[in-house]
Amino acid sequence: MIQLGMNRRSRLEKMYNRFYKKLNPVNSDDSFTCYYCGEPANCYDHTPPISCIDYYDCTGIEAEFLLVPSCSECNRLLGSTNTKTLADRFTLLKELLRKHYSKVLKSTALWSDKELRELMEDPNNLNNCIVDMCRIGNIASKRIDYPGFDIT
């Protein structure tokens, strides 16, 4: 019987997990927490990914072979990207999160917590703020696109 998808992954993990050292949090408060982002962990992330084991086996290049608790989103974002150290993987994950949430990060950087609370208290205020933001954005775009004029 042919097994594909998650079954294949489970079989590979069973086969190769013995090569990896499972790291656990020193502080028990960090149990079940994603090493990369602090959200609840529901799986383990492999450094380097299991899919890259042949690369290290063939080249003889050394890697750390570590397992850390991870949330599924961090695990998915990192995927099979070949990183040989946990530090490299950690840095890569931060870049991937910044890229994945770039639009939201730009928006939230514009508002203070106090301003957001005020907006949430009055739905009309929220609508007006969005309209104002679009108006200001349009004006800013026109100013940025303004070609200037001839001067003597």
78 near Zn ion, judged by CB under 5 A: no
| DSSP tag of 70 | E
Smallest distance from Zn ion to CB 90, Å: 11
Among 34, 53, 66, 78, indicate the residue that binds Zn ion (CB under 5 A). 34
Among 12, 23, 37, 97, interactor with Zn ion by CB under 5 A? 37
Among 131, 129, 97, CA closest to 110 = 129
Nearer to Zn ion (CB atom), residue 44 or residue 111:
44
Q: Any long-range contacts for 10-19 (C-beta under 8 Å, 24+ apart)? A: 12/50, 13/50, 16/46, 16/50, 16/53, 17/67, 19/53, 19/65
Task: Give the residue, chosen from 66, 67, 74, 86, that forms a contact with Zn ion under the rule CB under 5 A.
Answer: 74
Six-digit token string for 23: 């790291």
Q: Is 36 in the site for Zn ion (CB under 5 A)?
A: yes
Closest contact distance (angstroms) between CB of 71 and Zn ion is 3
Q: Does 86 bind Zn ion (CB under 5 A)?
A: no
The site for Zn ion, by CB under 5 A, has a size of: 6
List strands edge to edge, sheet with 21-22: 21-22, 66-70, 43-47
Contact 64, 84 (CB under 8 A): yes
What distance in Å separates the CA atoms of residue 145 and residue 82, rounded to the nearest whole number? 42
Judged by CB under 5 A, the residue of 68, 71, 86, 96 near Zn ion is 71
Smaller CB separation from Zn ion, 25 or 119: 25
Closest C-alpha to 144, from 136, 152, 62: 136
- Which span (7-15, 60-68, 69-77, 117-125) binds Zn ion, by CB under 5 A? 69-77
**Chain contacts with Zn ion (rule: CB under 5 A):** 34, 36-37, 39, 71, 74
